[in-house]
Structure 1
């Protein structure tokens, strides 16, 4: 009886997952501290658009 040859399947071309923006962690929003008064004391935070990825959540260099 002849020996049975098995071949491996070639790996599929799987595209890598898109890189996540590091300052906003992929959300597209970052917290900005709000300061008021003459001494510029911090009062709270408000959400703002991430200027690194412009709100897309994907890293611009990838």
Structure 2
């Protein structure tokens, strides 16, 4: 009788890869500029345009 070979089962894990630019948070820092010379005064959170705020990598 021939030996049986079994194929490895596909992963059932629902772990999704984190988005690279935002690190999985869905927010990226955006520089706030004010004045006529547009000098930077601080940062605020902005929506990550790579994953559109979901925090998961778009390729996954």
TM-score (norm 1): 0.73
Pick one of 14, 37, 41 that aligns with 2:11.
Answer: 14
Q: Classify the secondary structure of the residue corresponding to 1:48.
A: strand
3-state SS of the aligned residue for 1:35? strand
Give the ranges of 4+ consecutive aligned residues of structure 1 lying more than 6 Å apart after TM superposition: none
State the superposition RMSD in angstroms. Answer: 1.9
Given the two structures, how large is their TM-score scaled by the length of structure 2? Answer: 0.75
- C-alpha separation in 2, matches of 1:37 and 1:15: 53
SS at match of 2:37: coil
Provide structure 1 residue ranges, at least 5 long, that are not aligned to the other structure: 1-9
Deviation of 1:52 (Å): 0.6
Q: Which residue of 1 aligns with 2:59?
A: 61
Segments of structure 2 that go 5 or more residues without pairing to the other structure are 1-6
Structure 1 equivalent of residue 3 of structure 2: none
